Amino acid sequence: MSTEEEIIVSPRRSRFEAEINGPVIFCPVGPYLSMAAALLRGKKQKRHLIPGRVYRLRRKQREVTLFGPGQGAPMAVMALERCAAQGCRYFILLGVCGSLRKEVRIGDFILANSALSEEGTSAHYHPEDHPPDASEKARSALRVALQEAGEPFHEGRTWTTDALYRETLAKVKTYGEQGVLGVEMELAALFTAGRFLGVEVGALLVVSDELFELNWRPGFTSPRFIAHLRKAASLSLKAALSFYGAESS
């Protein structure tokens, strides 16, 4: 590393912060984090880890950390950096997105394999050498969890934006025609930073709203969306637990 590339502010755990153990499920949206913690019987830790709350998920002798919230690329990558600094090798985002394609409906699952970057964070992690692609190991673990549960899903690219209220008609139409499945606020940065840091990053999204008809159809209170978000939390835990078997491979 050149002198110019040496960092001044580095992530490190203080004695006032929570310890991160095992694979991490990161849920960027606060209410959905609380839902996942209750559903998965997470034990809330007294100490937090910037930028969010920490829950322990124990299954027999295996432990997974549930962590969040932290919406948007900067907060998500801060979470990733701080987890990686404690030795975390596996990181799954449990999130939501808006649909850009008519075959992708509210409540559907999306297994993201890459992302189109329209955020500012990934530019700091040499995206020319670290493309915004999900790690194959993390993506495979999520795919297996979905298939074993018999859940249909879409697999493909998403669009990551910093500007929630600048999802314009032109962009929605153009990206949808290019085959981009959905729009969210974290993945391009997480995939790029994950490759830069040498950790495995995957993502399972649930469609919360639809934009493909060039008007907004929210589905945040849809029974199907809520049921599938709960299912996604369980599937993310199953995928995270499978990483224990990957440690020796």
Task: Give the count of beta carbons closer than 10 Å to the beta carbon of residue 48.
Answer: 14
DSSP letters for 124-167: GG-TTTS-SB--HHHHHHHHHHHHHTT---EEEEEEEES-TT--
Question: pTM above the 0.85 mark?
Answer: yes
pLDDT score for 2:
55
pLDDT given for residue 176 in this prediction:
98
Select the CATH number that applies to the domain covering 21-244 from these four: 3.40.50.1580, 3.40.50.720, 3.40.1280.10, 3.20.20.140: 3.40.50.1580
CB 49 within 8 A of CB 78: no
* Distance from C-alpha of 18 to C-alpha of 144, rounded to nearest angstrom: 31
Do 225 and 207 form a contact (C-beta atoms < 8 A)? yes
Taking the C-alpha atoms of residue 115 and residue 157, their distance in angstroms, rounded to an integer, is 5
Minimal CA–CA distance to 34: which of 48, 44, 21, 45?
Answer: 44
pLDDT, tens digit only, all 249 positions of the chain: 555 678 898 898 888 889 998 999 999 999 999 999 999 999 999 999 988 999 999 999 999 999 999 999 999 999 999 999 999 999 999 999 999 999 999 999 999 999 999 999 999 999 999 999 999 999 999 999 999 999 999 999 999 999 999 999 999 999 999 999 999 999 999 999 999 999 999 999 999 999 999 999 999 999 999 999 999 999 999 999 999 976 544
